[in-house]
Amino acid sequence: MTYLIRRLLEALLVFFGISLVIYAMTYVLPGDPIAALAGDRPLAPSVARALREQHHLDDPLLVQYGHYLAGLFHGDLGTDFSGRSVAEQMADRWPVTLKLALTAWGIEAVVGIGLGVLAALRQGTWTDRTVLAFTIGATSVPVFVLAYTAQVVLGVQLGWFPVAGNTDGWPTSYLLPALCVAAFGLASVSRLVRAEVIENLRADYVRTAVAKGLTRRRVVGVHVLRNSLIPAVTYLAIDLGYLLGGTVIIEGVFNLPGIGQLLFQAVRAHAGPTVVGVSTALILIFLAASVLVDLLNSLLDPRIRHD
């Protein structure tokens, strides 16, 4: 319980620090968002004054941030300058981003761990070298290059996947963008698992288990894999938060109407409340995943609780 309380307090401090930085960066951007609402037509001074007062734009930064936190503690992510709730804007887009992120995350976990274990058990063979070559290639190619290439080759030329949109539903419309999103994380997971499995196969407890007559499958599947998954589980849990917020490019390339696309559009339109509200939700998800993985790691290895 002490460990949990300490982790929650640390997460709270991180949230306040990051959210304040994002809030400050958003509201020091050049330009007047209220004047931009009307485009080329100037707003009536009374309307502009009312909107500035409603959104506390004339208050000092820390006062504005305090008003935002007060609303956040009541479950309000804010409203944009047109009066639309940020939470309502996100509600329609969450399913798209969740399907994309969870599909990519599942690919990372299953394929990444499988390739890592396979490479470790076949260390020094062509299988191991093939997996290592794949991981180097996956981490070297920028995600937007991979996305456009996959879209043209696999979508347009070969016709194996839809090119854009989500009209074909899950998993058809999400599989190709999820593969592009998962490529970097999949490579990282496989290399982490490979290194940990190789190290644990040389450990004393493995030699003891083999000396007791345990089969290789049981030694690897029960003892080695359990101790080797801690770094991979940590990476996967943190990466889930990244996947939920880092799909801006992929959603743009494949025209998926998710949270990433909403955030991109809000940044371009200087819609500060939307940028802050969406970013806050993503920060909370990321921190929750971080706390959960620390708790899971403490169950896998009780020594962590006493560090």
Helix (H) or strand (E) holding 204: helix 204-211
* Rounded-to-integer distance, Cα 53 and Cα 133, Å: 58
Assign 224 to helix, strand or coil. Answer: helix
Mean pLDDT in residue range 223-248: 76
Whether 80 has a pLDDT exceeding 80, the answer reads: no
**Closest listed residue to residue 241, CA positions, set 9, 14, 20:** 14
| Percent of the chain with pLDDT strictly greater than 90 | 1
Cβ-contact 272, 24 below 8 angstroms: no
User: DSSP 3-state assignment of 85?
Assistant: strand
The pLDDT value recorded for residue 266 is 79
Mean pLDDT of the chain: 79
Between CA 221 and CA 206 the distance in angstroms is 12
Quote the pLDDT of residue 39.
59
* pLDDT value of position 78: 76
The predicted structure's pLDDT at residue 37: 61
pLDDT exceeds cutoff 60 at 305: no
Residues 168-193 pLDDT 10s = 778 888 888 998 888 888 888 888 88
Higher pLDDT, 242 or 101: 101
- Pick the range with the lowest mean pLDDT from 135-149, 172-186, 280-294: 280-294
Neighbouring C-beta atoms of residue 20, cutoff 10 Å:
15
Please list, in sequence order, all residues whose beta carbon lies within 8 angstroms of the beta carbon of residue 176, skipping any fewer than 6 positions away: 150, 151, 154, 155, 160, 161, 162, 254
How many Cβ atoms sit within 10 Å of the Cβ of residue 271? 25
pLDDT of residue 41: 65
Structural domains of the chain, with CATH:
94-256 (1.10.3720.10)
- Whether residue 230 contacts residue 294, with contact meaning beta carbons closer than 8 Å, is answered with no
pLDDT tens-place string over residues 120-133: 888 888 888 888 88
The pTM of this model reads 0.73
pLDDT at 304 over 60: no
Output the pLDDT for position 256.
Answer: 86
Lowest-pLDDT choice from 113-122, 239-248, 268-277, 294-303: 294-303
Q: How many alpha carbons fall within 13 Å on the CB side of residue 301?
A: 17
Segment 87-115 shows an average pLDDT of 88
